[in-house]
Amino acid sequence: MMKKIGVLFSFLLFLNCQNFGKLKLITDLPKDLEEVSGTEIVPKSDLIWMINDSGNAPVLFGLNEKGKIVKEIYIKAKNHDWEDLASDEKGNIYIGDFGNNLNKRRNLSIIIVDKNELDEKKTEVDRIEFVYPNQTKFPPKKKNKYFDAESFFYFKASLYIFTKSRVKGKFGKTTLYKIPAKKGKYTAEIVGKFENCKDLECWITSADISPNGKKVALLSQKNVLIFSDFKDDKFLSGKVTKIDLKHRYQKESITFKDNNTLLITDEKAHNTGGFLYELKI
């Protein structure tokens, strides 16, 4: 008992010494989610859904508001490099298997988990396959490595993918692509581009759109970008507000809890991170 109290005291002392800036700490994440890469609030579900990235089992986790895992669904699809989660108005979940660090993948896809399967322990899934219209070499030259991705969301029957740049000096550049949110094979359509800043802390690691469709959030290690006052799906042409993150662990996922509240997670690495945060905007 005394050992448990000591561990708890040490953890609370550690938290009190941290400067989370504008982020409010909600809880530390379970050990099973140390490499969390996607987080999603799903319509018609009371859980917070999360995934890990490559090197981990193909499992979709459902957590309660206290950060405890209460549901695990084994997805019958390989985790090549799962990087983000999205959901539609019906409650179907989309898993972005499009992590592409070396820019040489030819099997980019998005996995569809039907809402009716969220009570199962194992599930078959459908798949959306896609290619980028402007990638012709696998991999391209170093100056053209713009085809990694860790971010997407669902909006009006389409999925919107934001790329992550691997080009030195242009790490904050992202291109927005669009594909149908329906099983099939597609060539993505370019919708827009944006440049956050230049260094490694600027690359885009997650994205989401507010429930009312009026705000888009992009996450980087350095900041959260909030886009508003856009027309149709020209999200990146809208007004942008930058929220600096003084607390810069490896931020990996973002989702809207409501129209004015975001949930953010970071990976646990080198004994830092591994938390769930809240950010009011």
Residue 10, in any domain of the structure: no
Q: Residue 217 is part of a domain; what is its CATH number?
A: 2.120.10
d(CA 107, CA 266): 27
Q: For the chain, percent helix, then strand, then coil, each to nearest 5?
A: 10, 45, 45
Retrieve residue 73's tokens: 């669904």
Please provide residue 85's backbone torsions phi and psi, each rounded to the nearest 5 degrees. Answer: -120, 150
Domain that holds residue 86: 31-280
Residue 61, in any domain of the structure: yes
d(CA 153, CA 161): 7
Residuewise pLDDT in 10s, the chain (281 residues): 544 444 444 444 444 445 466 899 999 999 999 999 999 999 999 999 999 999 999 999 999 999 999 999 999 999 999 999 999 999 999 999 999 999 999 999 999 999 999 999 999 999 999 999 999 999 999 999 999 999 999 999 999 999 999 999 999 999 999 999 999 999 999 999 999 999 999 999 999 999 999 999 999 999 999 999 999 999 999 999 999 998 667 899 999 999 999 999 999 987 789 999 999 99
d(CA 125, CA 114): 7
Residue 98, in any domain of the structure: yes
Residue 5, in any domain of the structure: no
Residue 6, in any domain of the structure: no
Residue 276, in any domain of the structure: yes
The answer, yes or no, to whether the previous bond of 211 is cis (omega within 30 of 0) is no
Residue 153, in any domain of the structure: yes
Residue 269 confidence (pLDDT): 82
Contact 153, 132 (CB under 8 A): no
Retrieve residue 147's tokens: 């085809």
- Radius of gyration of the chain from Cα atoms? 18
Residue 12, in any domain of the structure: no
Whole-model pTM: value is 0.93
Coil vs helix vs strand at 161: strand
Per the structure, how many domains does the chain have?
A: 1
